[in-house]
Amino acid sequence: MKEVNTDNHEPHKPWAINLQNVQFRYGKSGAENALNIPLWQVARGERVFLHGDSGSGKTTLLNLLSGVLTPTQGTIELLEQPFSTLSARRRDTFRAHHIGVVFQQFNLVPYLSVLKNIQLANHFAAKRDKDIVASANAMLAKLNLPSDVLHKPANALSVGQQQRVAIARALINQPELLLVDEPTSALDASARDAFMTILLEMCESVEASLIFVSHDMSLKEFFNSRIDMSSLNKPFEGAAC
Ligand code: ADP
Ligand code: MG
């Protein structure tokens, strides 16, 4: 008899993202302003560069992945757990526990100190950090930010510094999934490269899966996986009814 591996089924590949038959429309408008993604799966630990023209739906897709929007049809599972079918409250909890987000505008609370901004993210986490000041300081040091910025209001920092605080805030809870939307658009080339290096190092240190959105193709070299919105987002069939 042929020697058979008793464990002969394919090992199950853990997904960070498993998106099936997802459709989304803003309001009741036609097929434009819409996403139609039959299937998209991203393995855990992958670092994906998601690119596409302006208006191609990149931010809409990230908003679906962070639960800011929910699909009109289809399902999104994250980290092998249901996500889009959760109630709004449970989706918020899931996001706070498992997902880090860096939006285009960073979304720091401008009048709060850097420390308070980071603390706020940790407040909703599954694991409260007992020594958040030390953790925030350690993270800022890794991000090459001087520790005196910790007590400055977020709006007193330069754009480049705010970006790094946004990364610190997104990573403080050691999320399994990090979603980043066009964070480099305001940076010159050398600041941009420094930012990318830091982001990827930090991601690696917490073993986060990363979805990084940009229309800037020169960034693609930083990633092990690339996908174009036009290959994900299919035209709607039979737009009638
Ligand atoms: P990208 O991030 O790739 O530039 P977006 O996801 O922001 O693209 O936009 C995709 C499409 O959805 C565009 O046609 C845009 O005008 C439209 N859109 C984005 N946000 C809204 C909204 N809040 N209401 C209606 N349409 C929107
Ligand atoms: Mg966008």
Burial of 46 (0-12, 13-18, 19+ CB in 10 A): middle
**pLDDT reported for residue 206:** 83
Sheet with 34-43: strands ordered across: 34-43, 15-25, 73-78, 81-82
Q: Which domain covers residue 103, as residue numbers?
A: 46-70+88-232
Q: Does residue 80 fall inside a structural domain?
A: no
Task: Among 108-117, 128-137, 188-197, 205-214, name the one with the lowest average pLDDT.
Answer: 188-197
CA dist 241 and 234 (Å) reads 18
Q: Does residue 162 fall inside a structural domain?
A: yes
Binding site membership of 233 for ligand 1 (Cβ less than 6 Å): no
Task: Among 28-37, 57-66, 146-155, 214-223, name the one with the lowest average pLDDT.
Answer: 28-37
For a ligand 1 pocket test, name from 37, 58, 59, 105 the mutation site with the most ligand atoms within 8 angstroms of its C-beta. 59
Q: Does residue 123 fall inside a structural domain?
A: yes
pLDDT in tens, 80-103: 999 999 999 999 999 999 999 988
Binding site membership of 111 for ligand 1 (Cβ less than 6 Å): no
Task: Kindly identify the ligand whose nearest atom is closest to the C-alpha of 50.
Answer: 1
Q: Does residue 75 fall inside a structural domain?
A: no
Contact between 169 and 108 under an 8 Å Cβ cutoff? The reply is yes
**pLDDT reported for residue 4:** 46
Burial of 153 (0-12, 13-18, 19+ CB in 10 A): middle
**In the chain, alpha helices (H):** 58-66, 88-98, 114-123, 132-142, 159-171, 189-206, 229-232
Binding site membership of 58 for ligand 1 (Cβ less than 6 Å): yes
Which distant-in-sequence residues (6+ apart) come within 8 Å of 66 by Cβ? Answer: 95, 99, 101, 179
For residue 76, the cross-strand partners are 19
Residue 228 DSSP SS3: strand
Tokens of 183: 């964070």
Mean of pLDDT values over 157-168: 87
Q: Does residue 64 fall inside a structural domain?
A: yes
The CA distances from residue 147 to 66, 135, 203, 214, in Å, are 30, 11, 21, 30
Roughly how many angstroms between the first and final C-alpha of the chain, as a whole number?
58
Q: Does residue 32 fall inside a structural domain?
A: no
177 Cα to the center of ligand 1, angstroms: 23
**DSSP-assigned letter for residue 103:** -
Binding site membership of 56 for ligand 1 (Cβ less than 6 Å): yes
CA dist 115 and 152 (Å) reads 8
pLDDT in tens, 104-121: 777 889 999 999 999 888
CA dist 82 and 132 (Å) reads 30
Q: Domain count of the chain?
A: 1
**pLDDT reported for residue 240:** 45
Q: Does residue 83 fall inside a structural domain?
A: no
**pLDDT reported for residue 9:** 61
Ligand 1: which atom is nearest the Cα of residue 54?
A: 4
**pLDDT reported for residue 233:** 94
Q: Does residue 6 fall inside a structural domain?
A: no
Q: Which CATH number does the domain housing residue 112 bear?
A: 3.40.50.300
Q: Which pTM was predicted?
A: 0.88
